[in-house]
Amino acid sequence: MDRRAATRALIVLAAVPAASRAQRNGKVYRVGFLGVLSASDYPDNLNAFLQGLRELGYEDGKNLVIEFRWADGREERLPELAAQLVRLNPDVLVTHAIGVGAAQKATSSIPIVMGVSGDPVALGLVESLAKPGGNTTGIASQIHEIAPKRLELLKEAVPKLNDVAVLSSLAFPGSRRSLQLTEIAARRIGVRVRSFGVSAERDALDAVFASILRGRPDGIVVHPDPNTARHVTLIAAFAAKNGLPAIGGIRQFVVDGGLLSYGANNVEGWRVAARHVDKILKGARPADLPVEQAARFELVINLKTATDLGLALPPSLLLRASEVLR
């Protein structure tokens, strides 16, 4: 299923009342899904999660009801949306990023499965990866700990890199951690970084882009989080239009014209999240179900973008790439 088709399918699914989809003959499980953005903002991940459930024998409208709630990028909406889902008394709550904290505040008894989230131990969401404790388990992407690697890879691609604009959503604790680690790495390799905050609102991007251009950076690092993911196409287009080498954290950034991306395979991570839901529905306790870490990290390179930027990428970088788009 391509990106547009997946988006259409998910929007239709989310628009249909769950009660009307379910067939009440036999056991019907109820899953509450709390999305930080909207159904159209991460269709590939959501489709992987739903496909993972289907492969395990669950089908929405037959033996499963999924109640969707979307915050549309507005952090202040998450507590009420989480409370709405808790009042429905689902068998499992599924969420990600800052939605995990909101879900934990809403319930200490309903199991919570994290989709691909950052470092849940550092953020205080679980006690440890091996023994999460409490009512939460899921998938950790180590998204923040690998943030310095993106700067290092961009420096490798652009040896004369001296000044870098870093785009992230500083309202999120994990993004602040990514920025902190990136700044430490920048001092080590002799690069200046300047931070630019990204919100969920599209209209706010123009001012951010204008500020970046006034600083005349040599490149851009885009930390993956819900807001930068929402604007990934626009950010990639901005970088290309202004001849700025840029690295993101998701493959879609490179598909949309960015030079590089480095990060976990989130699509596969959401498929694993479906397996966690299955285990809990079969009786596993979240406290005893280890948080799984991303199995692999992918370096994706857009060779056409490199050519357009006049960059001759070193063979050592190309050889380490998981995928090279031409």
What pLDDT sits at residue 10? 52
pLDDT tens series, the chain, 326 aa: 444 444 444 544 444 444 444 444 478 999 999 999 898 888 889 999 999 999 999 988 899 999 999 999 888 999 999 999 999 999 999 999 889 999 999 999 999 999 988 788 888 899 999 999 999 999 998 777 889 999 999 999 999 999 999 999 988 888 888 999 999 999 999 999 999 999 988 999 999 999 999 999 999 999 998 889 889 999 999 999 999 999 999 999 999 999 999 998 888 899 999 999 999 999 999 999 999 987 678 999 999 999 999 999 999 999 999 999 99
Euclidean distance between CA atoms 59 and 28, whole angstroms: 10
- β-strand pairing of 29-35 with 323-325: unpaired
Opening angle at CA 37, ends 53 and 226, nearest 5:
95
Locate 118 and state its tokens. Answer: 């950052």
What pLDDT sits at residue 22? 42
Whether the CB-CB separation of 249 and 223 falls below 8 Å is answered with yes
Whether the CB-CB separation of 25 and 57 falls below 8 Å is answered with no
What pLDDT sits at residue 319? 96
Non-local (6+) Cβ contacts of 59 within 8 A are 53
Strand order in the sheet with 260-264: 192-197, 163-168, 219-222, 246-248, 260-264, 297-302, 323-325
- The domain 147-264+298-325: what is its CATH number? 3.40.50.2300
Identity at 89, one-letter amino acid code: N
Residue 319: exposure state from Cβ atoms within 10 A (0-12, 13-18, ≥19): exposed
What pLDDT sits at residue 264? 86
DSSP SS3 for 167: strand
Euclidean distance between CA atoms 160 and 273, whole angstroms: 41
- 147-264+298-325 matches 3-142+265-295 in CATH topology: yes
The class of domain 3-142+265-295 in CATH terms is: alpha beta
Q: Where do the structural domains in the chain lie, given as residue ranges?
A: 3-142+265-295, 147-264+298-325
Euclidean distance between CA atoms 220 and 275, whole angstroms: 36
Opening angle at CA 183, ends 177 and 186, nearest 5:
145
Euclidean distance between CA atoms 22 and 61, whole angstroms: 4
Q: Which residues pair with 166 in a beta bridge?
A: 195, 221
Can you spell out the DSSP letters for 103-138? HHHH-SSS-EEEEEES-TTTTTSSS-SS---TTEEE
